[in-house]
Structure 1
Amino acid sequence: MSTEKTNPTVKSADRVLDIFELFAEMKEMNLMEISRQLELPTSSVFKILQNLESRGYLEKDESRKTFRLGYKIFEIGAKYAQNTSLTAEFTQIAQHIVDEINEAVYMSIRSGSNILYIAEKQSTQAVRLVSHLGMQLPLHSTAMGKMLLSGLDDEEVKAMYPESHLGVLTENTLESLPNLLEQLAVIRQEGIAYSRGEAILGIHCTAAPIYNADGNIIAAMSISIPSTRWNETVWKQMKELVTEGANKLSLIHYYQQS
């Protein structure tokens, strides 16, 4: 009798995990696609999807009738990431940067077409940004996002943005795919990315890449500053500090993985 009661629970858990694994391969899927991949009745899958959506683990695009991973997955991932050695090392390196320049330092990873903030060190300035931890912003609108995109080739970037017009957050956000590709080419050459009020008006950012042992960009590090405190001298210092910090994190990750 106990076996009969526990088996449905196990099967349900397996199906939930199967769905998450599907979304690890596909960005979006509709009900029929998920049912076909899992070889399950649509009625059974629909109930699971409804539960996952209500808990924030999936999001639904009503216009296209498709599902994608929700904020809750990334929230959990961000909290887990805080306990990894990379984020622990980030805290020490970011503190050094804050001591030097007293501006906010962030680290993010790619989450689909967004960046996900997984670590931060705030400044002690009276005027500063609120916490970004766990927040997501479009890749093309942020310095860290553009740095993460620069690790892809142009064809991969084009596949991410089938429409030439990009989403706009502020009057300074890049609006077209050709402009984005042009900026990514410069980023690959210079090894540094910028955002000047493109995600949040009045906030300037500079970002550098964090590499894994295979030489792939796995994360990005940035320094943000309100435009009221910006000047060329500070800008130069920001570029030097964020590059140095990201290089240290890359070396740490290299030796941990090799």
Structure 2
Amino acid sequence: MPRPVPAATATLRVLRYLSTRPSPVPAAAIAAHLDLPRSTTYHLLTAMAAESFVVHYPEDRTWGVGLAAWEVGQGYSRQEGLARLARIPLARLVDEVGHSSHLAVLHGSDVVYILEERAPGRPPLVTDVGVRLPAHLTASGRAVLAALPASQVRALYPDRAAFTDRTGLGPTTPSQLRAVLVETRRRGYAVEDGEVTLGFRSVAVVVDSPDVRAAVAVTWEGRQDVDTERIVEALQRTAEKVADRLR
């Protein structure tokens, strides 16, 4: 079982407490309510303020919830709404192609899976809801990255240290990733073969929406003989339906 991180736990407790208050509160009140040392509370608040998760009001000597915390809440609302809107289109996609499908959103240099529709009789996948995977290794991540401006991709992957590995396959340098994304844009969809899980393949299409960075993907066992062109056409229709629902 992972060990708890006291500072991280205390930070989250402070943020949760502030989110329940009708107005900003003094640091002393936060420390007393959470049974934290005053010095620790001040250190936590200062660090959180530097990242805009809390705001300090010096005239009143109080602290309140910051813009970054609001943005996190908005992100959750968008993802939850996206999952609801995409559930029926993904279920129909699975019925049509007979393979499992999932919806993922870009979060930093990872993708987070927010919806999965399992095809009957198909093996379980690592792309369960809530799982995070390196975007550069997944078809979903590549579909989204290929739609981003080059400057944003460079910011996410500035050097070799930004690249992680799962199976020994996939790009390991910025130039290799650029080549993958160029080919993805040329093709019109993203592919992944054994880079997430050996023996499994995926194809993905980006959801064309200015409000979310998401992609729909289909995954199957690599040994299966599938009509990739048919799957891609079904994916494109599904991604368009999801984008239409978002609008």
TM > 0.5: yes
Summarize the Cα distance change of 1:12–1:202 in structure 2 as closer, same or farther, 3 Å threshold. same
Could you tell me how far apart the structure 1 residues matched to 2:201 and 2:15 are? 49
Summarize the Cα distance change of 1:11–1:210 in structure 2 as closer, same or farther, 3 Å threshold. closer
Q: Which residue of 2 aligns with 1:228?
A: 223
Q: Are the counterparts in 2 of residues 148 and 219 from structure 1 also a CA contact under 8 Å?
A: yes
Could you tell me how far apart the structure 1 residues matched to 2:170 and 2:45 are? 38
Structure 2 residue identity aligned to 1:151: A
Tell me the percent identity: 21
Q: Which residue of 1 aligns with 2:79?
A: 81
Q: Which residue of 1 aligns with 2:148?
A: 152
Could you tell me how far apart the structure 2 residues matched to 1:162 and 1:10 are? 32
Q: Are the counterparts in 2 of residues 191 and 209 from structure 1 also a CA contact under 8 Å?
A: no
Q: Which residue of 2 aligns with 1:188?
A: 185
Q: Which residue of 1 aligns with 2:101?
A: 105
2:167 to 166, 170, 194: 170
Deviation at 1:218, TM superposition (A): 2.3
Could you tell me how far apart the structure 2 residues matched to 1:181 and 1:11 are? 41
Structure 1 residue identity aligned to 2:76: G
Give the TM-score normalised by structure 2.
Answer: 0.67
Structure 1 residue identity aligned to 2:149: D
Could you tell me how far apart the structure 2 residues matched to 1:228 and 1:156 are? 36
Could you tell me how far apart the structure 2 residues matched to 1:190 and 1:45 are? 53
For these two proteins, the number of residue pairs brought into alignment is 194
- Secondary structure, aligned partner of 2:207: strand
Deviations 1:84-115 (A, max 9, x none): 2x322311111111112221111111111100
Deviations 1:171-203 (A, max 9, x none): 222222111101111222332001111111111
Structure 2 residue identity aligned to 1:179: Q
Could you tell me how far apart the structure 1 residues matched to 2:42 and 2:197 are? 39
Q: Which residue of 2 aligns with 1:219?
A: 214
Summarize the Cα distance change of 1:128–1:236 in structure 2 as closer, same or farther, 3 Å threshold. farther
Q: Which residue of 2 aligns with 1:57?
A: none
Summarize the Cα distance change of 1:10–1:173 in structure 2 as closer, same or farther, 3 Å threshold. closer
RMSD value, Cα = 3.4
- Secondary structure, aligned partner of 2:180: helix
Structure 2 residue identity aligned to 1:220: A
Map of 1:121-136 to 2, 5 A cutoff?
A: 121-129=117-125, 132-136=128-132
Summarize the Cα distance change of 1:133–1:148 in structure 2 as closer, same or farther, 3 Å threshold. same
Summarize the Cα distance change of 1:45–1:101 in structure 2 as closer, same or farther, 3 Å threshold. farther
Deviations 1:190-229 (A, max 9, x none): 32001111111111010001122x4x76211100111122
Summarize the Cα distance change of 1:48–1:144 in structure 2 as closer, same or farther, 3 Å threshold. same
Summarize the Cα distance change of 1:11–1:186 in structure 2 as closer, same or farther, 3 Å threshold. closer
Deviation at 1:147, TM superposition (A): 1.1
Deviation at 1:128, TM superposition (A): 3.3
Give the TM-score normalised by structure 1.
Answer: 0.65
Summarize the Cα distance change of 1:93–1:47 in structure 2 as closer, same or farther, 3 Å threshold. same
Deviations 1:119-164 (A, max 9, x none): 1111112533266100000110100111111122222212212223
Instruction: Say yes or no: does 1:201 pair with 2:198.
Output: yes
Structure 2 residue identity aligned to 1:227: G
Deviations 1:4-38 (A, max 9, x none): xxxxx899616x9xxxxxxxxxxxxxxxxxxxxxx
Q: Are the counterparts in 1 of residues 167 and 195 from structure 2 also a CA contact under 8 Å?
A: yes
